[in-house]
Structure 1
Amino acid sequence: MRSKLIKTTPERRAQVIGDISQGSEPGIRFYVLVGVSTLIASIGLIADSTAVVIGAMLVAPLMTPIFGISLALVLGEAKLLRNSLLAVTAGIFIAVATALLLGSLPIALEVTPEMLSRTQPNLFDLLVAVLAGFAGAYALVDESLSPALPGVAIATALVPPLANTGLCIAVKAYEGSLGSFLLFVANFLSILIVASAVFIFAGMNYKFDSTNKKQFLRRFGLAAFGFLAIFALLTNYLITMIEDRILSQDIKQVLDQELAGMYGAELNKFNSDFESGKLYVLAHVMSPELFVPKEVRQIQDALTKKLNKPVEFTIRNTIVKDMGATGSTSLVELRNLEGFFEGRELTRKEQVIRETEQLLWELTADAPGTRLDHVDFGMLPIGPTAVVTLKGRPPFPERIRAVQVDLRKRLNMPDLYLLVEVIEPDLWSSEGRLLLGWSRYGKLTPEKERTIRTVEDTVREAFSDIEGLFPMDVYFDFEDGRQPVKVLVEVSGNREPAEEDLRQVQNILSNVSPMHVEAFLLKTSEAMLTKDGYVPLSRELRENVRARMGEVKKTWHMVN
């Protein structure tokens, strides 16, 4: 049987048979090339170098004996079949063993993308092998296409899967080694079947009647069955891969939507895996501030709703801050196909935060002891509000008013309000807050410990008779020798401490303490009485503002 599409002369057929028969001889040169190509492929896989792996494909001699098996089946040549099978079998063993030995060396072998790409074959790999097998056989029988053979050798990738099999066995990744070997088997069977068909259509079956069904099944039945089995298996792998990609797209869509309203947050990558009926998602996110559990729960609920399955979501948070010459700036995205950097459009919240940060960086750049810590934005009952956290000394109200006016002009938001939260630097030990020059409490003798307990109890009792002031904390300074014990009482209330208040505390302490005591009063922020006792009013106000902003956060994101 000869096809008009594939024209060969008797001389060309004889040359092809001679070349394949010679190339299928299992000699020392064949084994050396298999070993060398495997070493090259293994190094390329370990180094994650595609170019080196391609070089190994060019050196590998395995395609010729596979063609030899095809030609032997077509011609019914037992000797050629025996030699070709021996060459392929020995080549497989040498390739896997060589890679296994290399991977067993103390080279700190790590998994690379080149290795991972060969552990999960699918139907596309089978299709590539089928087309490459056709091109290779076609190039052999048609002398005008012979120069295409190196490209075919690259496309079929016979040695890299075998090298990857040995490397996976070396690191005890047996499932990965099975997938890699399956990729080789898929390539082998595809080349075998397609090359046989090409040889038959080229008229090289002058000793074989392809219309004889029994003879055809006897020669090609096993290979055809194996090919169909591989086809079914890889089709299943392809379906699974498509489902995984759809799942990944859905996860990315939800993450992008949820992170869009969080200023400066950028999704780096994510991983997902099913276990015990639950989907586990780990997202690597870069942002200017840490996520709180409530925000993680919000994203987890969105994923559960979108995917309609139980999800356990975790964020691996990396703190980053893009900083320009005048302050923070928006994230720079990747280049587009025209070579330009492009970024996404900022939300209204991001615009407010960005402008507020830039303005405050300019204003605090030369302010000694003052540093911008954080800017947030949301809706409060008074209207859209930018909340700024500063570390250092409180600014004057006139300064805050001027910044608010400037921001309203820059953002064209005449109803924007500015709230400034000031965090004064504190030092704390296991005993409490430290004030400069006051001990809290250092190494104490039993006598000093008794004095501390007595003084603290007395101070609290003393202020029960002082209207409008509440003791917040007590600090001590124990002088050496016969110096007095200094006691600093931090008070809060609706009025300033008076000399009468200090004198009353001093007299009560002098009556109960065995040591001479000198008292001092320090006025701090106003206090609020709660079910847990008195707390600083500033802390209560701060928590109230944060709670209000959190309540409207989701609604604001939807509007903007």
Structure 2
Amino acid sequence: MALKIIEIVAPTSEMAAIARIADSHDVVDWWRTSSFEDERFSTELVVRPDGQQEVLDDLQRILDRCDNARIMIYGVQATLPVAGESAGEEGAEDARTSEAMRSREELYAEVSSGGTITSTYLLLCALSAVVAAMGMLEDSAAVVIGAMVIAPLLAPNLALALGTTLGDTELSRRAISANFVGLGLSVGLALAIGLVIDPVTNSQLLDRTNVSYPAMILALASGAAAVLSLTSGAAAGLVGVMVAVALMPPAAALGLFVGWGQWDNAVSAGLMLAINIAAINLSAKLVFVLKGITPRQWPDKSRARRSLRWSFTFWGVSLLVLAVLIWVAKY
């Protein structure tokens, strides 16, 4: 059973409020420690995944009025006795909680780091661009897949989708910057390789020029799958998404074709890259909305609704324009 422990450290003046919150929700168990030296105390609540967001929202009202309060979330590997009266009840509980999503705070903590430009992010972009370019030059599918797995370009797109869903302007701005910098670095390195290596033609390169409606549908499905993997806690599923709708190979192909002066192929590779980015963001946002990922407070909710309207319009219109361009390119 995927139980969570929510620990809140707060001043002693909040003891009654926290007790009311614990008693008002269907928590599995809760307990309290003695006061610390700074006159704070700790309360730990064992909650089921499907109820933790409501508990967190109530507890955060204490953070709003206390400067020295803190909430922490821990995973529980196992608990004895089990949180049920019988094995049958435990199995039913597992079946119910297996579909429960992670809390807004857990998603934000994991996804927001993807919208940050760090030395590791830049190095991974550079290395994956070189690996992807070499794999396509050598017509090696295995090497290209390796570049897909190590490329970090999916993370800032998920961060952008979450940021616009929550109306978090700062996260959205950082994610956009990370996207531009990562893609710019990748395309630039591939372009430099194209300037020093003679042009080649093979299946790996031509695959990145084959824009089609099935490719758009694949990108939409993969963006949705990425968010479902995150919200369910099955982050290992993201590896499959990275391979299914990789951003690095078309970015590297774009740089190579520009370096070789093959402008028709460069336009096709750029179109495929744009389709993948737009589809990932649109479908990811849709899943975030359907999963009920919203801000906690009313002013943030109002800002999030405006952000949703603008971002859905932008990505929807972008995808429609790209679909028209696919039709023009084909016919």
- TM-score normalised according to structure 1 size: 0.40
Structure 1 CA distance, aligned partners of 2:308 and 2:229?
25
Alpha-carbon deviation of 1:9?
Answer: 4.1
Structure 2 CA distance, aligned partners of 1:235 and 1:15?
41
Q: Relative contact order (C-alpha < 8 Å, sep 6+): which is higher?
A: 2
Decide which of 217, 223, 226 is 2:318's aligned counterpart: 226
Q: Which position in structure 2 is the counterpart of 1:132?
A: 222
SS where residue 301 of structure 2 aligns?
A: coil
Q: Which position in structure 2 is the counterpart of 1:201?
A: 290
Root mean square deviation, CA, Å: 2.2
Q: Which position in structure 2 is the counterpart of 1:8?
A: 101
Change (3 A) 1:141 1:61: same
Query: 1:33-182 counterparts in 2 under 5 A?
Result: 33-105=124-196, 107-143=197-233, 145-182=234-271
Alpha-carbon deviation of 1:196?
Answer: 0.5
Change (3 A) 1:186 1:40: same
Alpha-carbon deviation of 1:202?
Answer: 1.6
Change (3 A) 1:200 1:79: same
Identity of aligned residues (%): 26
The one-letter code of the counterpart of 1:52 is V
The one-letter code of the counterpart of 1:8 is M
Change (3 A) 1:29 1:215: closer
List alignment gaps of at least 5 residues for structure 1.
241-560
Contact 2:275 2:322 in 1 (8 A): yes
2:25 maps to 1:25: no
SS where residue 208 of structure 1 aligns?
A: helix
Structure 2 CA distance, aligned partners of 1:124 and 1:210?
35
Structure 2 CA distance, aligned partners of 1:125 and 1:166?
20
SS where residue 146 of structure 1 aligns?
A: coil
The one-letter code of the counterpart of 1:159 is M
Contact 2:167 2:307 in 1 (8 A): no
Change (3 A) 1:119 1:200: same
Query: 1:536-555 counterparts in 2 under 5 A?
Result: none
1:293-314 deviation line (CA, Å, top 9, x unaligned): xxxxxxxxxxxxxxxxxxxxxx
List alignment gaps of at least 5 residues for structure 2.
1-96
2:281 maps to 1:189: no
Structure 1 CA distance, aligned partners of 2:263 and 2:329?
18
Query: 1:289-328 counterparts in 2 under 5 A?
Result: none
Change (3 A) 1:124 1:9: closer
Contact 2:164 2:307 in 1 (8 A): no
Contact 1:73 1:220 in 2 (8 A): no
Alpha-carbon deviation of 1:235?
Answer: 4.3
1:499-521 deviation line (CA, Å, top 9, x unaligned): xxxxxxxxxxxxxxxxxxxxxxx
Alpha-carbon deviation of 1:57?
Answer: 0.2
Contact 2:167 2:303 in 1 (8 A): no
Contact 2:165 2:308 in 1 (8 A): no
Contact 2:294 2:301 in 1 (8 A): yes
The one-letter code of the counterpart of 1:32 is L
1:230-250 deviation line (CA, Å, top 9, x unaligned): 123224546x4xxxxxxxxxx
- TM-score normalised according to structure 2 size: 0.66
The one-letter code of the counterpart of 2:243 is I
Alpha-carbon deviation of 1:14?
Answer: 1.5
Alpha-carbon deviation of 1:103?
Answer: 1.3
Structure 1 CA distance, aligned partners of 2:326 and 2:199?
28
The one-letter code of the counterpart of 1:199 is F
SS where residue 261 of structure 2 aligns?
A: coil
Contact 1:122 1:237 in 2 (8 A): no
Contact 2:187 2:251 in 1 (8 A): yes
Contact 1:123 1:237 in 2 (8 A): no
Alpha-carbon deviation of 1:227?
Answer: 1.4
Change (3 A) 1:177 1:201: same
1:269-302 deviation line (CA, Å, top 9, x unaligned): xxxxxxxxxxxxxxxxxxxxxxxxxxxxxxxxxx
Higher Rg: 1
Q: Which position in structure 2 is the counterpart of 1:351?
A: none
Alpha-carbon deviation of 1:209?
Answer: 5.8
Contact 2:165 2:307 in 1 (8 A): no
Structure (1/2) with the larger strand percentage: 1
Change (3 A) 1:15 1:216: closer
Count of residue correspondences: 232
Alpha-carbon deviation of 1:16?
Answer: 1.5
Structure 2 CA distance, aligned partners of 1:92 and 1:9?
30
Structure 2 CA distance, aligned partners of 1:211 and 1:79?
13
